[in-house]
């Protein structure tokens, strides 16, 4: 019996007796010794490489707070009240505070989603807006080699004090999220985000859980420095998706320390690659984000093996995103890959649209070249799975039944929560061969 995590309730599944389970890739840590509210307050009281907020905030200044969107697990509605109370005690009135949702090129949050993310009382009292990467009033903050002029959200840049709120979790290309990613891509202009994502995604060092010599990560930090962020709050999680620590202080010092702690909490040495890997997309359930966990699954699967991606979805996959797969397939196998590689060499998007759609398309294309991927989900995703080039099964027993004739005594790896883990692999991993 194996357990896979889902937002709507964990799933327990019995595997065939002839399957050899190599590993359940999961790291059970110690439970947090404090409540979430206590963890938040402790972080404020012990800032990392920074003056405390009480010394940064003064009456008469304007404050901008960047929070991440619903594609990240950050408990924003728990952090904001504590942060805003401290601001109020420092003499900062509600009218001098703006909250910006750093969506990058993701879709904007609806009013209902903003209320769910930030809390009703905060929404009633404070100005909250989505960042628009194509807005005409973005402010130039400087130039970065390889990118040229970089512009950012005007509300944030014009503020006297800038604060970010995010989470340090494994990231498919950046190594780890959180920290400077609140700025880049969170509040940057579309062209900067486009260049950053497309020019770095082809580098094999831009990979999950790795920051050393990672150009995706290094360029993100360099661009984020232009924002001159004053204070950062980031959450750390265990493999169950529970907050185990909150760090606050200097943007880069918090991220550096948080990555070290996240590696300890979520990194798992791999004993061997399997014929079949079962992975839950948890906690991802937002559009194309659900495919991210196929990367850690690919990292622990033999080339030519099978990946079962157990997924939930809260928002549908857009039609133009699905249509792009048909257009690529129409090119034919080799020609399609040549077309994608040529566009990436020219730093051009594969499809006109948000960069996360492009990143998902690239990931799906190259994973599907080396592995058989079966999407295990409600029937609402059946056609989407087939259009993306995946197999489909309505449940895991059906998916497992479909492999019986293909492999007699397969080995298997199990990843209960694909978004809260990263495999530690000797020799590294390359998805896109040169």
**pLDDT of 430:** 86
Say if residue 340 is in the same domain as residue 380.
yes
pLDDT at 141 over 90: yes
Tell me the per-residue pLDDT of 294-343, one tens digit each, with 9 for 90 and over.
Answer: 999 999 999 999 999 999 988 888 888 898 887 776 665 568 888 888 99
Share of the chain above pLDDT 70, in %: 97
- Of 234, 265, 296, the residue at which a domain comes to its end is 265
Q: Please indicate, yes or no, whether residues 78 and 220 belong to a single structural domain of this protein.
A: yes
Domain limit, last residue, from 225, 247, 265: 265
**Which H or E run includes 118?**
helix 111-118
At residue 264, the 3 state secondary structure works out as: helix
* Helix, strand, coil % in the chain, rounded to nearest 5: 40, 25, 40
CATH of the domain at 285: 3.90.226.30
Q: Are residues 105 and 221 in the same domain?
A: yes
Lowest mean pLDDT among 110-124, 180-194, 198-212, 221-235: 198-212
Same-domain pairing of 261 and 275: no
Please tell me whether the overall predicted TM-score, pTM, comes out greater than 0.85 for this model: yes
How many helices and strands, by DSSP H and E, does the chain display? 15, 20
- Give the per-residue pLDDT at 273: 96
In 3D, which of 354, 387, 29 has the Cα closest to residue 198? Answer: 354
Domain termination residue (choose one: 221, 245, 265): 265
Q: Quick one: average pLDDT of 383-405? A: 90
Name the pLDDT band for 354 (thresholds 50, 70, 90). confident
Confidence at residue 325, expressed as pLDDT on a 0 to 100 scale: 84
* Strand ranges, E, within 242-291: 243-249, 267-269, 274-280
pLDDT of residue 434 exceeding 60: no
Per-residue pLDDT band for 286 (boundaries 50, 70, 90) equals confident
pLDDT tens by residue, 215-259: 999 999 999 999 999 999 999 999 989 999 999 999 999 999 999
DSSP letter for each residue of 84-112: HHHHHHTT--GGGEEEEE--TTSPPPPHH
What H or E segment, with its residue span, contains residue 385?
A: helix 382-387
What is the extent of the structural domain holding 145? 36-265
**Any domain includes 186:** yes
Q: Specify the higher pLDDT residue, 433 or 49.
A: 49
Average pLDDT, the chain: 93
Cα separation, 173 vs 346, in Å, equals 19
296 with 401, same domain: the answer is: yes
pLDDT value at position 382? 92
Q: What single string gives the DSSP state of each residue in 147-209?
A: TEEEEE-HHHHTSSEEEEEEE--EETTTEE-SGGGGTTTTTB-HHHHHHHHHHHTTSTTS-TT
pLDDT of residue 405: 65
Residue 236: which of 170, 283, 297 has the closest Cα? 170
pLDDT score recorded for residue 367:
94
Counted domains in the chain? 2
Burial 419-430 (b: 16+ CB within 10 A, else e): bbbbbebeeebe
Q: Does any domain span residue 31?
A: no
**12-51 confidence digits (pLDDT tens):** 989 999 999 999 999 887 776 789 999 999 999 999 999 9
Q: What token pair was written down for 115?
A: 């209320």
What proportion of the chain, given as a percentage, has pLDDT over 90? 80
Pairing of strands 411-415, 20-24: parallel
pLDDT number for residue 135? 97
Give dist(CA 183, CA 287) in Å, integer.
22
């Amino acid at each position: 019996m194996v357990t896979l995590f889902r937002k709507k309730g964990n799933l327990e599944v019995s595997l065939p007796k002839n399957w050899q389970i190599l590993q359940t890739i999961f790291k059970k840590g110690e439970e947090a010794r404090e409540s979430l509210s206590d963890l938040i307050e402790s972080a404020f009281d012990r800032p990392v490489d920074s003056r405390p907020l009480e010394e940064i905030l003064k009456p008469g200044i304007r404050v901008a707070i960047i929070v991440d969107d619903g594609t990240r697990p950050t408990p924003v509605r728990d952090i904001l009240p504590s942060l805003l109370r401290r601001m109020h005690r420092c003499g900062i009135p509600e009218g001098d505070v703006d909250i910006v949702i750093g969506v990058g090129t993701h879709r904007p949050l609806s009013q209902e989603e903003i209320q769910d993310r930030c809390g009703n009382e905060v929404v009633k009292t404070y100005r909250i807006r989505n960042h628009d990467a194509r807005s005409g009033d973005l402010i130039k903050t400087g130039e970065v080699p390889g990118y040229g002029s970089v512009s950012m959200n005007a509300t944030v840049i014009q503020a006297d004090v800038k604060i970010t709120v995010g989470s340090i979790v494994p990231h498919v290309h950046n190594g780890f999220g959180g920290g400077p990613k609140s700025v880049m891509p969170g509040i940057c202009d579309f062209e900067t985000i486009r260049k950053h994502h497309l020019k770095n995604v082809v580098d094999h060092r831009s990979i999950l859980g790795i920051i050393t010599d990672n150009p995706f990560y290094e360029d993100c930090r360099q661009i984020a420095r232009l924002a001159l962020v004053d204070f950062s709050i980031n959450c750390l999680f265990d493999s169950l998706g529970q907050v185990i620590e909150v760090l606050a202080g200097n943007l880069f010092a918090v991220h550096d320390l948080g990555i070290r702690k996240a590696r300890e909490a979520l990194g798992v040495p791999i004993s061997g690659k399997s014929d079949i890997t079962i992975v839950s997309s948890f906690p991802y359930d937002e559009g194309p984000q659900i495919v991210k966990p196929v990367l850690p699954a690919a990292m622990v699967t033999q080339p030519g093996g099978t990946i079962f991606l157990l997924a939930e979805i809260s928002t549908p996959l857009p039609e133009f995103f699905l249509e792009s797969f048909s257009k690529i397939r129409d090119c034919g196998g080799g020609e399609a890959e040549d077309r994608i590689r040529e566009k990436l060499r020219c730093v051009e998007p594969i499809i006109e649209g948000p960069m996360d759609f492009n990143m998902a398309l690239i990931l799906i294309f190259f994973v599907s070249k080396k592995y058989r991927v079966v999407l295990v989900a409600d029937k609402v995703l059946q056609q989407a799975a087939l259009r993306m080039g995946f197999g489909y099964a309505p449940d895991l027993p059906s998916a497992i039944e479909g492999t019986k004739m293909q492999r007699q005594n397969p080995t298997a790896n199990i990843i209960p929560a694909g978004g809260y883990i990263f495999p530690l692999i000797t020799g590294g991993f390359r998805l896109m061969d040169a």
